[in-house]
């Protein structure tokens, strides 16, 4: 580190010490369901995730129009079969030594309909549970102890999936000692131009209670602490800065700068903020398609609901990091925050890890999809919700487009076209740098009304066979697969005979992991890839979904006890299904993928046809069963399922060994994979995603629990009931086995394996060592040590 850098850092530290802005994370609260009996909780908090599961919580008698249903039927797990409906109450106390000049309570989301009281007086209200909102707290605060309380109300039939309940995202109290203060939501950082290694960026700082004597200073600081651009000006004046040798943000190189903003009165520092920003440009145009930093690329995205499986809706950075890491390892470069505003933590993780984002807003407008959904609030709140969405998140480089809706019923109407124009214009008003899209599922209606044509990016959900007709009516010359696939599967479950189907169900409430089953409105990954690869006008896709989520258990909406989805490329525990490797084989061009399915442990199937699939980026492979060749086959671009997969459809099961040898185009061996028949479970295996975690901030380790036989072969059908105990510097947080039909609560310390695996979540509590002990009847106990820093 050079001398100038040290001086810059020292000056920054000294100035920061004089600024009088304080940010207090309000993490410790009291919670009650009846406003009488309270218990201590830590925010973020989801009051319903620990269950118990029960079909009575949100039993609905409805027809799901989006699924093509015309008659009402009983839906028992549509919103997760967890007790999220009803009222909840939170309260906390803040001790203030001096009454601040400005004070803002920042809620990143509260489910739902939050009313905020300070010292018994209503200080603020917001209708939408997914959106961030701010409350001016200054008029209500006093010196000494101040009580902040929040009342929430989740109505029945207000969600099509599990929304969670409570203060499920962070709450902060931000105060300043001077009346004039920086307003981060009113300020922006934009990349205007990238050329010849230089970047032109614009910065505008908004000031609360601005005065003529105030001066704003902006400094852009690189990762080495060097100031690469700076300016001084009055507030609310856009400034252009030139950055030499600009480091660009992208999924491959997620470089972040630090933007320091300082506010002075007569050369005295009165306020200061710091945020991470990225330099990058986004554009979409005919022939060029989607461009990031001037380079065309097709989006390889997934949709993600907001719940984090066994953690519920309570946002957690460690879980988000694991989620994004898993998706990136598969080759995914973008997520769609389906179908609601994302959390700030999620966007920060996407910024730092390099994941592009479509930030979505609404699942409905005026016409309802469920009785008490957002349609009740749209006319009064939609404009304010769009404003908060964009102002809150527009400085995140990861966000590359906004979405104003998903499968909106108004697609066919002039009214819907006008609303689309209006909401899109609002996005442009607050952020002119990003395009706007929405997901349309009624192509003919949306095109006939002009609903699709007004969008910056026409997004179509499913029905890829209509793409060629759609594009003829789109003057912009491109379209996006805003929601694709909806292929369904259960991890490690294989059904016979193996045949593509859009309507198969089974008595056990599971779906086949051969990845050939989907829903009547959807399709297979192979169908989407054919259109993405063969049509220049397609700019990418967002697969439904990257992870399984609570609620929407199609195709088992009427089956109990199904209570979570089957759409995920990974299951609810975050464990990859076979489909993960299918996507990886197509999306990852920098590494080799070789995956074989099914497992080879099928007692009683001896002699029966048991197809073998191989997911690989290699063009050909040969299969051996107990050393006997089943033939060498080559991918066939002319067929639906053999263009991207290698399949041996006539293999007859015999216990022993499968071996696949994959070959490059030049005939050399790319790699080989062996799958063996398992014996009885003999020991437990524990594998943590990290060997050490932090003691603070609810840091988590995700530990995969499985069993193997005496030779170390994984037991893929094992259902042993596992018992967990965490001692030392951590605590047990949750467990999940990925079974959509399991009614075992996530907070219990006993759970059966599903397809031979489950995940235990361990949370650090203090510095030291923690030990996870896992036991099962008839098996030796196994332990795992985790460092807590």
Task: Give the CATH number for residue 456.
Answer: 3.20.20.80
Q: How far is CA 12 from CA 8, 171, 258, 270, 717, in A?
A: 6, 27, 12, 14, 59
In angstroms, the CA 774 to CA 776 distance is 7
> 157 and 45, same structural domain?
yes
Name the nearest CA neighbour of 328 among 293, 354, 299: 354
Taking residues 377-394, report their average pLDDT: 98
pLDDT of residue 780: 98
Strands 757-764 and 669-676 turn out to be unpaired
Q: Is residue 558 part of a domain?
A: no
For 779, the 3-state DSSP assignment is strand
Neighbours of 516 (CB within 10 A): 23
Burial of residue 704 (number of CB atoms within 10 Å: 0-12, 13-18, 19+): middle
CB proximity list for 566: less than 8 A, separation 6 or greater: 488, 489, 490, 511, 548, 553, 554, 555, 556, 740
> 482 and 441, same structural domain?
yes
Query: Percent of the chain, pLDDT > 90?
Result: 94
Which phi-psi region, left, alpha or beta, contains residue 427 (left: φ > 0; alpha: ψ -120 to 50)?
Answer: alpha
How high is the mean pLDDT of the chain? 95
Neighbours of 769 (CB within 10 A): 13
Q: Is residue 584 part of a domain?
A: no
Domain limit, last residue, from 176, 194, 214: 176
For 116, the 3-state DSSP assignment is strand
pLDDT of residue 443: 97
Domain limit, last residue, from 218, 253, 277: 277
Count structural domains, the chain: 5
Q: How far is CA 607 from CA 320, 493, 650, in A?
A: 45, 19, 11
**Concatenated DSSP letters of 350-373:** HHHHT-EEEEE--S-SSS-SSTTS
Handedness of CA 521, 646, 619, 591 (dihedral sign): positive
CB proximity list for 712: less than 8 A, separation 6 or greater: none
In angstroms, the CA 100 to CA 569 distance is 49
In angstroms, the CA 466 to CA 458 distance is 13
> 193 and 162, same structural domain?
no
Q: Which residues pair with 125 in a beta bridge?
A: 115
Whether pLDDT at 65 is above 80: no
Please tell me what DSSP assigns to residue 307: -
Q: How far is CA 500 from CA 259, 514, 520, in A?
A: 52, 9, 12
Tens-digit pLDDT profile for residues 207-252: 999 998 999 999 999 999 999 999 998 888 899 999 999 999 999 9
Q: How far is C-alpha 581 from the chain's CA centre?
A: 19
Name the nearest CA neighbour of 427 among 396, 401, 451: 401
Tallying the residues shown for the chain, one arrives at: 789
Neighbours of 603 (CB within 10 A): 9
The separation between the first and the last C-alpha atoms of the chain, rounded to the nearest angstrom, is 27
Q: Give the model's confidence band at 63: pLDDT under 50 very low, under 70 low, under 90 confident, else very high.
A: confident
Strands 628-634 and 594-597 turn out to be unpaired
CB proximity list for 770: less than 8 A, separation 6 or greater: 726, 727, 728, 729, 730, 762, 764, 785, 786, 787, 788
Taking residues 184-201, report their average pLDDT: 97
> 290 and 437, same structural domain?
yes
Q: How far is CA 762 from CA 319, 694, 756, in A?
A: 11, 11, 20
> 191 and 163, same structural domain?
no
Whether pLDDT at 154 is above 90: yes
pLDDT of residue 593: 98
Name the nearest CA neighbour of 706 among 784, 763, 654, 771: 784
For 172, the 3-state DSSP assignment is strand
Burial of residue 112 (number of CB atoms within 10 Å: 0-12, 13-18, 19+): buried
pLDDT of residue 19: 52
Question: Which pTM was predicted?
Answer: 0.96
Q: Which residues pair with 242 in a beta bridge?
A: 200
Please give the helix or strand (H or E) that residue 194 lies within, else none.
strand 181-195
Structural domain span for residue 632: 594-676
Q: Which residues pair with 60 in a beta bridge?
A: 75
Q: Is residue 374 part of a domain?
A: yes
Taking residues 245-267, report their average pLDDT: 97
Please tell me what DSSP assigns to residue 286: T
Q: Is residue 146 part of a domain?
A: yes
Q: Is residue 261 part of a domain?
A: yes
What is the token pair recorded at 166? 């409570």
What's 721's domain CATH number?
Answer: 2.60.40.10
> 777 and 721, same structural domain?
yes
For 186, the 3-state DSSP assignment is strand
- Using an 8 Å Cβ cutoff, are 326 and 349 in contact? no
Whether pLDDT at 2 is above 50: no
Neighbours of 27 (CB within 10 A): 17
> 698 and 650, same structural domain?
no
Name the nearest CA neighbour of 544 among 79, 244, 161: 161
Name the nearest CA neighbour of 78 among 98, 94, 99, 61: 61
Whether pLDDT at 15 is above 60: no
Strands 657-663 and 620-625 turn out to be antiparallel
Q: Which residues are catalytic, by number?
A: 407, 483
**Concatenated DSSP letters of 460-520:** EES-GGGHHHHHTT-TT--EEEEEEE-B---TT---SS---BSS---TTS---TTS-BB-T
Q: Is residue 662 part of a domain?
A: yes
Name the nearest CA neighbour of 317 among 359, 350, 358: 350
CB proximity list for 666: less than 8 A, separation 6 or greater: none
> 416 and 313, same structural domain?
yes
Tens-digit pLDDT profile for residues 570-595: 999 999 999 999 999 999 999 999 99
Taking residues 638-655, report their average pLDDT: 97
Torsion, Cα 36 37 41 46, to 10 degrees, reads: -80
pLDDT of residue 693: 98
Domain limit, last residue, from 240, 261, 277: 277
Long-range contacts, 42-46 (Cβ 8 Å, 24+): 42/698, 43/90, 43/167, 43/170, 43/171, 44/167, 44/168, 44/169, 44/170, 44/314, 44/315, 44/316, 45/166, 45/167, 45/168, 45/314, 46/164, 46/165, 46/166, 46/168, 46/311, 46/312, 46/313, 46/314
Helix-strand-coil percent breakdown of the chain, rounded to 5? Answer: 15, 40, 45
Taking residues 403-412, report their average pLDDT: 97
In angstroms, the CA 761 to CA 318 distance is 11
- Using an 8 Å Cβ cutoff, are 575 and 309 in contact? no
Cα angle at 491 between 749 and 604, to 5 degrees? 100
Tens-digit pLDDT profile for residues 343-356: 999 999 999 999 99
Name the nearest CA neighbour of 693 among 788, 762, 581, 621: 788
Name the nearest CA neighbour of 433 among 397, 389, 386, 476: 397
Please give the helix or strand (H or E) that residue 732 lies within, else none.
strand 730-736
In angstroms, the CA 491 to CA 572 distance is 10
> 735 and 701, same structural domain?
yes
Q: Give the model's confidence band at 5: pLDDT under 50 very low, under 70 low, under 90 confident, else very high.
A: very low
- Using an 8 Å Cβ cutoff, are 715 and 756 in contact? yes
What is the token pair recorded at 574? 């975050």
> 247 and 291, same structural domain?
no
3-state helix/strand/coil string of 82-95: CCCCEEEEEEEEEE
> 398 and 306, same structural domain?
yes
Tens-digit pLDDT profile for residues 774-788: 999 999 999 999 999
Q: Is residue 718 part of a domain?
A: yes
561 prior amide bond cis, ω within 30:
yes
Burial of residue 771 (number of CB atoms within 10 Å: 0-12, 13-18, 19+): middle
Q: Is residue 510 part of a domain?
A: no
What's 120's domain CATH number?
Answer: 2.60.120.260
> 450 and 307, same structural domain?
yes
Whether pLDDT at 11 is above 90: no
């Amino acid at each position: 580190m050079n001398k100038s850098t040290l001086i810059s850092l020292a000056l920054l530290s000294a100035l920061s010490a004089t600024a009088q802005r304080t940010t207090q994370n309000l993490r410790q609260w009291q919670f009650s369901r009846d406003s009488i009996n309270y218990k201590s909780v830590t925010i973020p908090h989801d009051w319903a995730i620990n269950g118990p599961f029960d079909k009575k919580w949100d039993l609905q008698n409805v027809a799901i129009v989006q699924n093509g249903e015309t008659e009402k039927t009983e839906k028992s797990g549509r919103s997760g079969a967890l007790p999220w409906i009803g009222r909840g109450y939170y309260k906390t106390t803040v001790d203030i030594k001096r009454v601040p000049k400005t004070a803002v309570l920042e809620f990143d989301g509260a489910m739902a309909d939050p009313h905020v009281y300070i010292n018994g007086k209503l200080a603020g209200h917001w209708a939408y549970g997914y959106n961030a909102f701010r409350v001016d707290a200054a008029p209500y605060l006093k010196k000494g102890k101040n009580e902040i309380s929040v009342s929430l109300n989740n109505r029945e039939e207000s969600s099509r999936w599990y929304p969670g309940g409570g203060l499920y995202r962070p709450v902060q109290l931000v105060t300043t000692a001077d009346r004039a203060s920086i307003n981060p939501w009113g300020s922006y950082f934009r990349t205007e131009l990238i050329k010849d290694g230089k970047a032109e960026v614009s910065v505008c700082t908004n000031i609360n209670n601005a005065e003529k004597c105030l001066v704003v200073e902006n400094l852009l600081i690189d990762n080495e602490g060097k100031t690469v651009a700076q300016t001084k000006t009055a507030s609310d004046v856009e400034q252009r800065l030139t950055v030499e040798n600009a480091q660009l943000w992208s999924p491959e190189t997620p470089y972040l700068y630090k933007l320091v903003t300082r506010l002075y009165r007569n050369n005295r520092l009165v306020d200061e903020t710091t945020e991470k920003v990225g330099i990058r440009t986004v554009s979409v145009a005919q022939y060029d398609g989607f461009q990031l930093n001037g380079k065309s690329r097709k989006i390889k995205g997934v949709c993600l609901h907001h719940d984090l499986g066994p953690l519920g809706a309570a946002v957690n950075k460690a879980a988000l990091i694991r989620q994004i890491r898993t998706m990136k390892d598969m080759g995914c470069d973008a997520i769609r925050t389906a179908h609601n505003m994302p959390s700030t933590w999620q966007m920060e993780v996407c910024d730092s890890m390099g994941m592009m984002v479509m930030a979505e807003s609404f699942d409905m407008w005026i016409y309802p999809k469920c009785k008490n959904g957002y349609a009740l609030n749209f006319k009064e709140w939609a404009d304010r919700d769009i404003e908060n969405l964009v102002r809150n998140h527009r400085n995140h480089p990861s966000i590359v487009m906004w979405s104003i809706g998903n499968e909106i019923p108004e697609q066919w109407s002039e009214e819907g076209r006008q609303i689309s124009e209006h909401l899109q214009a609002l996005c442009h008003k607050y952020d002119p740098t990003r395009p706007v899209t929405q997901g349309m599922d009624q192509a003919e209606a949306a095109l006939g009304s002009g609903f699709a044509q007004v969008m910056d990016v026409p997004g179509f959900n499913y029905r890829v066979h209509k793409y060629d007709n759609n594009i003829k009516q789109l003057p912009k010359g491109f379209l996006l697969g805003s929601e694709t696939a909806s292929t369904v599967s259960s991890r490690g479950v294989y059904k016979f005979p193996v045949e593509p189907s859009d309507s198969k169900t089974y008595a056990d409430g599971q779906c086949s992991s051969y990845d050939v089953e989907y829903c009547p409105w959807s399709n297979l990954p192979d169908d989407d890839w054919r259109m993405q690869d063969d049509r220049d006008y397609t700019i990418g896709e967002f697969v439904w979904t990257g992870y399984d989520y609570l609620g929407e258990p199609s195709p088992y909406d009427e089956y109990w006890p199904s209570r979570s989805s089957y759409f995920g490329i990974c299951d609810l525990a975050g464990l990859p299904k076979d489909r993960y490797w299918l996507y990886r084989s197509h999306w990852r061009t920098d590494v080799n993928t070789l995956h074989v399915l099914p497992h080879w442990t099928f007692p009683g199937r001896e002699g029966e046809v048991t197809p073998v699939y191989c997911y690989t980026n290699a063009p050909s492979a040969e299969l051996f069963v107990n050393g006997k060749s089943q033939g060498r086959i080559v991918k066939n671009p002319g067929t639906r399922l053999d263009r991207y997969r290698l399949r041996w459809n006539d293999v007859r099961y015999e216990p022993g060994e499968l071996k696949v040898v994959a070959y490059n185009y030049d005939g050399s061996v790319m790699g080989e994979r062996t799958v063996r028949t398992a014996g009885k479970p003999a020991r437990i295996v524990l594998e943590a995603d990290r060997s050490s975690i932090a003691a603070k901030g609810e840091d988590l380790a995700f530990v995969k629990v499985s069993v193997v036989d005496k030779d170390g072969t994984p037991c893929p059908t094992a259902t042993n009931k596992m018992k967990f105990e965490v001692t030392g510097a951590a605590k047990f947080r949750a467990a999940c086995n990925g079974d959509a039909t399991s009614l075992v609560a996530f907070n219990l310390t006993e759970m059966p394996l599903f397809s031979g695996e489950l995940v235990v979540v361990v949370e650090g509590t203090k510095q030291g060592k923690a030990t996870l002990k896992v036991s099962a009847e008839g098996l030796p106990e196994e332990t795992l040590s985790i460092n807590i820093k």
